A and B are shown apart, each in its own frame.
Chain A
Amino acid sequence: MKNAKILEPDAPMTGHNEKQTVVVIGNGMVGHKFIEQLQEAKAAGQGDYDIITFCEEPLLAYDRVHLSEYFGGKSADDLSLVTPGFYEDNGIKVLLNEKATGIDRDAKTVTGSQGTVVEYDKLVMATGSYPFVPPVPGKDRDDVFVYRTIDDLDQMMECSKRGKVGVVVGGGLLGLEAANALKNLGLEAHVVEFAPGLMGVQLDQGGSDMLRRKIEELGVQVHTSKNTQQIVDGDNCTHRMEFADGTSLETDMIVFSAGIRPQDELAREFGLEIGERGGIIIDDNCITSDPNVYAIGECALYDNMIYGLVAPGYAMAQAAVDHITGSLNSSFAGADMSTKLKLLGVDVCSIGDAHCRTEGALAYTFVDETAQTYKKLVVDADKKRVLGAVLVGDGDAYGNLLQMKLNDMDLPESPEALILPSVDGEAAAGLGVDALPDTAQICSCNNVSKGQLCEAIAGGCTDLGQLKDCTKAATACSGCAALTKQVLDNELEKQGIEVDKSICEHFAYTRQELEHLVRVGKIKTFTELLEQHGQGHGCDICKPTVSNILAATWNEYVLKPQHSVLQDTNDRALANMQKNGTYSVVPRVPGGEITPDKLIVLGEAAKKYNLYTKITGGQRIDLFGAQLHELPLIWEELIAAGFETGQAYGKSVRTVKSCVGSTWCRYGVKDSVGMAIFIEERYKGLRSPHKLKFAVSGCTRECAEAQSKDVGVIATENGWNLYVSGNGGMKPRHADLLASDLDDETLIKYIDRYLMFYIRTADRLQRTSVWLDNLEGGLDYVKQVVLEDSLGIAAELEEQMELIVDTFQCEWKTTVEDPERRKHFQHFVNSAETDSNIKWVDERGQIRPAQKTELEAEV
Chain B
Amino acid sequence: MNAVANTNDLATQVCELDFIPEHGGVCALVQGEQVAVFKIAGEVYAINNYDPFSDAYVLSRGIVGDIKGELVIASPVYKQHFSLNSGVCLQDESVTLKTWETEVVDGVVYIKH
On A, residues with C-beta under 8 Å from B are 505-506, 536-540, 542-544, 561-562, 564-569, 572-573, 577, 579-581, 628, 823-824, 826-833, 835, 837, 852
Query: Closest approach, in angstroms, between the C-beta of A202 and any C-beta of chain B?
Result: 56
Beyond contacts A537-B23, A829-B37: 14 other A-B pairs, Cβ-Cβ < 8 A, are A536-B69, A537-B71, A540-B81, A564-B24, A565-B21, A565-B63, A569-B61, A572-B76, A577-B77, A581-B58, A628-B61, A830-B12, A831-B3, A837-B57
CA distance A776 to B44 in the complex (A): 48
- Interchain nearest-CB distance for B17 vs A (Å): 12
Tell me, yes or no, whether B89 is within 8 Å of chain A by CB. Answer: no
Chain B contacts for A564, CB-based, 8 A? 21, 24
Known contacts A565-B21, A565-B63, A828-B29; A540/B79 CB under 8 A: yes
Known contacts A537-B71, A830-B12, A577 near B65 by CB under 8 Å: no
B56 in complex: contacting residue of A573, A579, A826, A830, CB < 8 Å: A579
Known: A579-B54, A828-B29, A829-B28. A565 touches B4 (CB 8 A): no
Q: Is the CB of B57 within 8 A of A830?
A: no
B77 near A569 with CB under 8 A, answer yes
Contact status B66-A830, CB under 8 Å: no
Tell me if B95 is interfacial: C-beta within 8 Å of chain A. no
The interface centre, meaning the residue of A539, A581, A826, A832 with most chain B CB atoms within 10 A of its CB, is A581
B1-41 interface code vs A (CB 8 A; 1 in, 0 out): 11111100000111100010111101111000010010011
**Contact of A580 with B63 at beta-carbon distance under 8 Å, contacts A565-B22, A830-B6 already known:** no
**In-complex Cβ contact of A540 among B15, B21, B22, B65 (8 A):** B65
Residues in A whose Cβ lies below 8 Å from that of B56: 579-581, 837
Give B45-97 interface residues, CB cut-off 8 Å to A: 54-58, 61-69, 71-72, 74, 76-77, 79, 81
Cβ–Cβ contact A829 & B26, under 8 A: yes
Q: Nearest Cβ distance between residue A263 and chain B, in whole angstroms?
A: 61
Quick one: closest B residue to A580, CB to CB?
Answer: B56
Q: How far is the CA of A579 from the CA of B53 in the complex (A)?
A: 10
Chain A residues touching B, majority SS: loop
Expressed in whole angstroms, the Cα–Cα distance for A540 and B4 within the complex equals 33
Question: Which partner residue on chain A sits nearest B71 by CB separation?
Answer: A537
Q: How far is the CA of A830 from the CA of B5 in the complex (A)?
A: 5
Task: Provide the residues of chain A in CB contact with B68, threshold 8 Å.
Answer: 505
Contact B29–A833 (Cβ < 8 Å): yes
Question: Which residues of B have CB within 8 Å of A542?
Answer: 65
Chain A residues within an 8 Å CB radius of B64: 537, 565
What are 5 sample pairs from A and B whose C-beta atoms fall under 8 A apart?
Answer: A561-B24, A580-B56, A581-B54, A829-B37, A830-B28
Q: How far is the CA of A543 from the CA of B3 in the complex (A)?
A: 33
B78 → chain A, closest Cβ, in Å? 10
B55-A580 in contact (CB<8A): yes
Contacts of A537 in B (CB 8 A): 23, 40-41, 64-66, 71
Complex Cα distance A561/B65, Å?
A: 17
Cα distance A561–B18 in the bound complex, in angstroms: 11
B77:A579 contact, CB within 8 angstroms: yes
Q: Which residues of B contact A565 (CB under 8 A)?
A: 21-24, 63-64
Cβ-neighbour of B27 out of A566, A567, A827, A832 (below 8 A) = A827
Complex partner residue of B29 from A566, A831, A837, CB under 8 angstroms: A831
**Which of the listed residues B12, B15, B58 has the most CB atoms from chain A within 10 Å of its own CB?**
B58
Q: Which of A505, A539, A567 has the most CB of B within 10 A?
A: A539
* Least Cβ–Cβ distance between A230 and chain B, in angstroms: 78
Interface hub of B2, B29, B63 (most chain A Cβ within 10 A): B63
Give Cα A515 to B43, complex, Å.
31
- Which residues of the partner chain A approach B2 to less than 8 Å between Cβ atoms? 826, 831-832
CA distance A74 to B19 in the complex (A): 65
What residue of chain B has the Cβ atom nearest to residue A544's Cβ? B63
A830–B13 touching, CB < 8 Å: yes
Which 8 pairs between the two chains have the least Cβ-Cβ distance? Answer: A539-B65, A581-B56, A540-B74, A569-B76, A829-B26, A540-B63, A565-B23, A581-B58
Are B14's CB and A539's CB within 8 A? no
Are A539 and B74 interface neighbours, CB within 8 A? Answer: yes
Q: For A833, what are the chain B residues with a Cβ–Cβ distance below 8 Å? A: 29
Residue from B4, B19, B62 within 8 A of A831 (CB atoms): B4
Alpha-carbon distance between A204 and B3 when the two chains are bound, in angstroms: 91
A62 → B minimal CB distance (Å): 46
Query: How far is A562 from B6 in the complex, measured between Cα atoms in Å?
Result: 29
Most A Cβ at <10 Å: residue of B6, B41, B77: B77
| Complex Cα gap A163–B48 (Å) | 79
B12, B24, B27, B71: residue with the most chain A Cβ atoms closer than 10 Å: B27
| Candidates A538, A562, A828, A852; contact of B28 at CB < 8 Å | A828
CB B112 to nearest CB in A, in angstroms, measures 15
B21 to chain A, nearest CB (A): 5
Q: Please state if A561 and B63 are interface contacts (CB–CB under 8 Å).
A: no
Contact status B67-A830, CB under 8 Å: no
Give the distance to chain A from B34, nearest Cβ to Cβ, in Å.
8
Residues A577 and B58 in contact, CB atoms below 8 Å apart: yes
Contact at B21–A539, with CB atoms within 8 Å?
no
The complex places the Cα of A131 from the Cα of B69 at a distance, in Å, of 74
How near does chain B come to A679, taking the closest CB pair, in angstroms? Answer: 32
* A566-B63 in contact (CB<8A): yes
Q: Are B76 and A543 in contact (CB under 8 A)?
A: no
Residues of A within 8 A of B81 (CB): 540
Interface hub of A573, A827, A835 (most chain B Cβ within 10 A): A827
> By the criterion CB–CB under 8 Å, are B61 and A572 in contact?
yes
In the complex, chain B residues whose CB is within 8 Å of the CB of A572: 61, 76
Q: How far is the CA of A543 from the CA of B63 in the complex (A)?
A: 8
Q: Which residues of A contact B15 (CB under 8 A)?
A: 829-830
Residues of A within 8 A of B54 (CB): 579-581
Complex Cα spacing A628 to B19, Å: 18
CB-defined contacts of A581 to chain B, threshold 8 Å: 54, 56-58, 77
Q: What CA separation (Å) do A237 and B4 show in the bound complex? A: 95
CA–CA, A566 and B15, complex, Å: 21
User: Is there an interface contact between A829 and B14, defined as CB atoms closer than 8 Å?
Assistant: yes
* Cβ of B85 to closest chain A Cβ, rounded Å: 13
Q: Which residues of B contact A580 (CB under 8 A)?
A: 54-56
A626 vs chain B, min Cβ distance (A): 14
Residues in B with CB closer than 8 Å to A543 are 63, 65
Report the bound CA distance from A832 to B1 in whole Å. 9
- Chain B residues closer than 8 Å to A835, beta-carbon distance: 34, 57
Q: Select one of A505, A566, A832 contacting B67, CB under 8 A.
A: A505
What's the nearest-Cβ distance from chain A to residue B37, in Å? 8
* CB-defined contacts of B58 to chain A, threshold 8 Å: 577, 581
Give CA–CA (A837, B58) in the complex, Å.
11
Kindly state the separation between the CA atoms of A786 and B27 in the bound complex, as whole angstroms.
Answer: 48
Q: In the complex, what residues of A have CB within 8 A of residue B34's CB?
A: 828, 835
C-alpha gap A830/B12 in the complex (Å): 9
How long is the Cα–Cα vector from A566 to B64 in the complex, in angstroms? Answer: 9
A832 to B3, CA, bound (A): 7
| Among B2, B41, B79: residue with most chain A CB under 10 A | B2
List the B residue with the shortest CB-CB distance to A581: B56
Give the shortest distance, in Å, between B73 (CB) and chain A (any CB): 9
The answer to whether B65 and A538 touch across the interface, beta carbons within 8 angstroms, is yes
The answer on a CB contact under 8 Å between B61 and A573 is yes
Q: How far is the CA of A50 from the CA of B64 in the complex (A)?
A: 65
Cα(A306)–Cα(B19), bound, Å? 84
Name the residue on B nearest A567 (C-beta).
B63
* Chain B contacts for A566, CB-based, 8 A: 23, 63
